[in-house]
């Protein structure tokens, strides 16, 4: 059994490396010299933009408030969210130079000598955004209207997990719908998008499954949080084949946060109770990679229904 598991993991890793080689060889993405950070071709961006439009069309009935956020977040807001407690291994911080001319000269000497010049840089009030919905919660702090609020958000996100798996990028785009309100309305929203997301992915030719999942919580305490998340079915992922059919990749995440963000940021329902939140997040790069894997690198040969849906 151990050998079988090891062989399966080896096969999956090999498939991921091979797909990465194919993507690079066909000019779909380009290397930056850092694992998990790539340039994307015009073709990649056209496919991604087509699916992004499809998300807009599929959610038009939601009448969501639209916000687009930068890839940086107020550090104080990240601290308030408890992200540091659960995911310290994924965080990226923003540092800047605050020295004088003498410090600058010292830094250049260190650079010339090949030593660590970054000690002259100090943390700023910014961190890299870990999920597209995180800038939203401090923005909606306070009392909600009776029906709650619904948002359409997008952002570049960062998670420090370098990998040769092309679907596990360190820098990527998330498109999300986020519901803030009563527990009942939030659960209904999550369940709606759990079904709708599957229909969307199947309509563009992706073989999708819905699975109960957990976030990658850190440390021994994280194992308990992950088990509780699975037991309560708070997180579902819609998984599709990208590099391998042996290990499917999460393309869409449907998350019910309960009152975590409501309590953390002082968001209340009109009756004074802590608001609940849920989000559905589309991993735009992962879905795009899944489309190339399913249909090939020549979009002209893709099924007509897929090309029509994506506007290709």
Average pLDDT score over residue span 9-27? 92
Cα angle 153-159-164, degrees, rounded to a multiple of 5: 120
For residue 174, give every residue at least 6 positions away whose Cβ sits within 8 Å of its Cβ, in sequence order, or none: 131, 132, 154, 155, 157, 281, 282, 283, 284
- More confident call, 157 vs 243: 157
Closest CA to 91 of 39, 173, 157, 135: 157
- Which of 183, 156, 163, 312 lies closest to 257, judged by CA? 183
pLDDT at residue 5, rounded to an integer: 47
* Residues contacting 172, CB < 8 A, separation 6+: 156, 157, 283, 284, 285, 286
- State yes or no: pLDDT of 105 exceeds 90: yes
The residues facing 209 across adjacent strands are 239
Q: What's the whole-number mean pLDDT along residues 59-70?
A: 96
Residue 187 has pLDDT above 70, yes or no: yes
| pLDDT single digits (tens) 281-312 | 999 999 999 999 999 999 999 999 999 999 99
**Arithmetic mean of pLDDT, 157-165:** 95
Q: Return the pLDDT at 212.
A: 86
Task: State the DSSP H helix or E strand holding residue 104, giving kind and residue range, or none if neither.
Answer: helix 101-113
Cα separation of 79 and 74, whole Å?
Answer: 9
* pLDDT bracket for residue 1 (50, 70, 90): very low
pLDDT of res. 245: 85
- Looking at residue 181, its pLDDT comes to 96
Question: C-alpha distances in angstroms, 8 versus 1, 26, 85, 245, 289?
Answer: 11, 27, 33, 11, 22
Q: Which SS3 state, helix, strand or coil, does residue 264 take? A: helix
pTM: 0.92
Do the Cβ atoms of 249 and 167 come closer than 8 Å? yes
**Terminal-residue alpha carbon distance, the chain:** 46
Q: What is the mean pLDDT of the chain?
A: 92
Per the CB < 8 A criterion, the answer to whether 257 and 281 are in contact is no
Question: Do the beta carbons of residue 301 and residue 198 sit within 8 Å?
Answer: no
| Domains of the chain by start residue, with CATH | 2-92+130-310 (3.30.930.10), 94-127 (no CATH)
Contact call for residues 90 and 140 (beta carbons, < 8 A): no
Q: What is the pLDDT of residues 230-257, one digit of tens each?
A: 767 678 899 999 988 888 999 999 999 9
In angstroms, the CA 308 to CA 298 distance is: 15
Strands (E) in the chain, as ranges, are 29-31, 38-40, 65-68, 72-74, 93-97, 121-128, 142-143, 149-158, 171-181, 209-212, 235-240, 249-258, 267-268, 276-283
């Amino acid at each position: 059994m151990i050998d079988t598991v090891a062989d399966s993991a080896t096969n999956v890793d090999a498939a991921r490396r091979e797909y990465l080689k194919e993507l690079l060889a066909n000019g779909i993405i380009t290397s930056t010299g850092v694992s998990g950070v790539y340039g994307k071709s015009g073709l990649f961006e056209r496919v991604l933009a087509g699916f992004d439009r499809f998300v807009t069309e599929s959610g038009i009935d939601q009448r969501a408030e639209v916000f687009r956020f930068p890839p940086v977040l107020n550090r104080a807001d990240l601290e308030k969210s408890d992200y540091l407690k659960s995911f310290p291994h994924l965080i990226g911080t923003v540092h800047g130079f605050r020295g004088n001319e003498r410090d600058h000269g010292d830094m250049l000497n260190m650079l010339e000598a090949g030593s660590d010049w970054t000690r002259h840089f100090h943390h700023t009030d910014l961190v890299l955004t870990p999920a597209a919905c995180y800038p939203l919660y401090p923005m909606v702090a306070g009392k909600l209207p009776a029906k709650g609020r619904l948002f359409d958000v997008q952002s570049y996100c960062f998670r420090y997990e370098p990998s040769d798996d092309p679907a596990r990028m360190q820098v990527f785009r998330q498109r999300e719908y986020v519901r803030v309100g009563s527990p009942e309305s939030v659960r209904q929203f999550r369940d709606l998008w759990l079904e709708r997301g599957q229909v969307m992915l199947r309509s563009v030719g992706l073989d999708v499954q819905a699975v109960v999942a957990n976030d990658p919580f850190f440390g021994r305490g994280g194992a308990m949080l992950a088990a509780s998340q699975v037991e309560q079915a708070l997180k579902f992922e819609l998984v599709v084949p990208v590099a391998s059919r042996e290990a499917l990749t999460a393309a869409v995440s449907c998350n019910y946060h309960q009152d975590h963000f409501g309590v953390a940021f002082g968001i209340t329902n009109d009756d004074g109770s802590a608001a609940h939140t849920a989000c559905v997040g589309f991993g735009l790069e992962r879905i795009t990679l899944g489309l190339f894997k399913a249909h090939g690198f020549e979009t002209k040969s893709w099924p007509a229904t897929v090309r029509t849906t994506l506007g290709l």
